[in-house]
């Protein structure tokens, strides 16, 4: 199959592209190598992908419609749109980056999907769209219209723009709501990377909301397995949909569905830190800090829909996933 992955030099896009290449697909990877975090890490990921002759890289920003159009050509069998300006905290510092990448960039891609629709487009969203909903776990059918950060707002807008294009131009779309993804080649702005870096540098770690946080940590290999399985579950067009859809997020007006991908089991921050201490072999010094603006105290995915559609649920425990990250970190930094 001919596949497009946007954000292919990013953490999750890289893992996905690597798996697709391993199974013999032809992959075009688009990435703008934005400076949000050290682009050297993106270059290193890209170098691995480029070893496979089935890979071709397109270095461009999604906002550049002309360049994107040339890269998109006559289209693809499947499109994975994972490029985005991610991160809750940075959206307070650099809001425009979210408007440019997530709104303008997504709009440009949707225009190309409209001209040459793929069989299925799978687009990254986030658990952040649930905001601080008090009812956990989060179901795809819950209201998700009280975003607490501009990041969450642009991701919710991504979902809604994609829904309108799906409806108007018969493009099958699955929105993937990812829950705190971690693992080898992970993002330097996320807690696991920051904590491990601090431990190796003998620096204290910052625990927000005085450590009173729970996150549904999802191991990256599990997430990719779920994404690949969902790729062959194309949402049906309205005319082909069953009459009753209990607990399905399928839109009655479009071939469009939203699916949570999470572990379905939140971990206390303190237990996460303990797993890191064990894997690194050092004790952390803890800085207890107030809650950060835009952040939420808990994320918790209901994964029944994912399981019904794919027969699969992420299962890697933090005590197994964290050492895999630490082993990669040691190797990457030669520690």
Ligand X SMILES: NC(=O)c1ccc[n+]([C@@H]2O[C@H](COP(=O)([O-])OP(=O)(O)OC[C@H]3O[C@@H](n4cnc5c(N)ncnc54)[C@H](O)[C@@H]3O)[C@@H](O)[C@H]2O)c1
Residues that bind ligand X (CB under 6 A): 7, 9-13, 31-34, 42, 61-63, 82-86, 101, 105, 124, 126, 178, 180-181, 187
CA atoms of 307 and 315, how far apart (whole Å): 12
Q: Calculate ∠ Cα 172-176-180, nearest 5°.
A: 170
CA atoms of 222 and 81, how far apart (whole Å): 18
Residue 102: its H or E element? none
Q: Calculate ∠ Cα 71-43-59, nearest 5°.
A: 15
Complex with ligand X: residue 101 or 255, whichever CB lies closer: 101
CB of 239 to ligand X, least distance (A): 31
CB of 285 to ligand X, least distance (A): 25
CB of 180 to ligand X, least distance (A): 5
Q: Calculate ∠ Cα 301-299-314, nearest 5°.
A: 40
Complex with ligand X: residue 46 or 253, whichever CB lies closer: 46
Q: Note if 36 is an active site residue.
A: no
Q: Which residue is nearest to ligand X (CB)?
A: 10
Q: Which of 151, 165, 208, 329 is catalytic?
A: 151
- What is the bridge-based pairing of β-strands 214-215 and 267-268? antiparallel
Complex with ligand X: residue 41 or 326, whichever CB lies closer: 41
- Assess contact for 130 and 138: CB atoms under 8 A: yes
Complex with ligand X: residue 12 or 254, whichever CB lies closer: 12
> By C-alpha distance, which of 250, 170, 196, 176 is closest to 16?
176
CB of 36 to ligand X, least distance (A): 6
Helices (H), 73-149: 90-93, 95-98, 106-115
Nearby residues of 47 by Cβ (< 8 Å), 6 or more positions away: none
CB of 307 to ligand X, least distance (A): 19
CA atoms of 60 and 101, how far apart (whole Å): 11
- Assess contact for 32 and 62: CB atoms under 8 A: yes
CB hemisphere CA count around 35 (13 angstroms): 1
CB of 88 to ligand X, least distance (A): 10
Complex with ligand X: residue 282 or 324, whichever CB lies closer: 324
Complex with ligand X: residue 96 or 143, whichever CB lies closer: 96
Complex with ligand X: residue 86 or 298, whichever CB lies closer: 86
CB of 122 to ligand X, least distance (A): 11
> By C-alpha distance, which of 135, 86, 82 is closest to 302?
135
Q: How many residues belong to the chain?
A: 335
Q: Could you give the residue numbers annotated as active site? A: 151
């Amino acid at each position: 199959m001919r596949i497009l992955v946007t954000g292919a030099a990013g953490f999750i896009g890289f893992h996905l592209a690597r798996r697709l290449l391993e199974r013999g697909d032809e992959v075009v990877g688009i990435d703008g190598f934005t400076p949000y975090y050290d682009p050297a890490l993106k270059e290193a990921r890209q170098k691995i992908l480029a070893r496979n002759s089935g890979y071709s890289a397109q270095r461009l920003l999604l906002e550049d419609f002309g360049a994107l159009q040339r890269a998109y050509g006559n289209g693809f069998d499947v499109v994975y749109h994972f490029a985005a300006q991610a991160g809750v905290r940075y959206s307070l510092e650099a809001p425009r980056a979210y408007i440019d990448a997530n709104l303008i960039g997504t709009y440009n891609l949707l225009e190309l999907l409209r001209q040459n629709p793929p069989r299925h487009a799978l687009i990254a969203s986030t658990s952040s769209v649930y905001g601080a909903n008090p009812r956990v776990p989060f179901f795809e059918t819950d209201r998700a219209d009280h975003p607490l950060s501009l990041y969450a707002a642009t991701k919710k807008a991504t979902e809604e723009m994609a829904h309108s294009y799906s409806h108007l131009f018969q493009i099958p779309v699955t929105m993937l709501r990812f829950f705190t993804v971690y693992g080898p080649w992970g993002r330097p702005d996320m807690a696991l990377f920051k904590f491990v870096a601090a431990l190796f540098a003998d620096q204290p770690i910052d625990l927000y909301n005085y450590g009173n946080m729970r996150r549904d940590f999802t191991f990256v290999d599990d997430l990719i397995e779920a994404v690949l399985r969902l790729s062959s579950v194309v949402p049906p067009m309205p005319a082909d949909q069953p009459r009753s859809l209990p607990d399905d997020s399928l839109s009655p007006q479009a071939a469009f569905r939203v699916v949570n991908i999470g572990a379905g089991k939140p971990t206390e921050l303190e237990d996460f830190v303990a797993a890191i201490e064990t894997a690194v072999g050092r004790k952390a010094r803890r800085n207890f800090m107030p809650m950060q603006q835009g952040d939420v105290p808990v994320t918790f995915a209901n994964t029944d829909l994912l399981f019904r559609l794919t027969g699969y649920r992420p299962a890697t425990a933090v005590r197994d996933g964290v050492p895999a990250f630490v082993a990669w970190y040691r190797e990457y930094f030669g520690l």
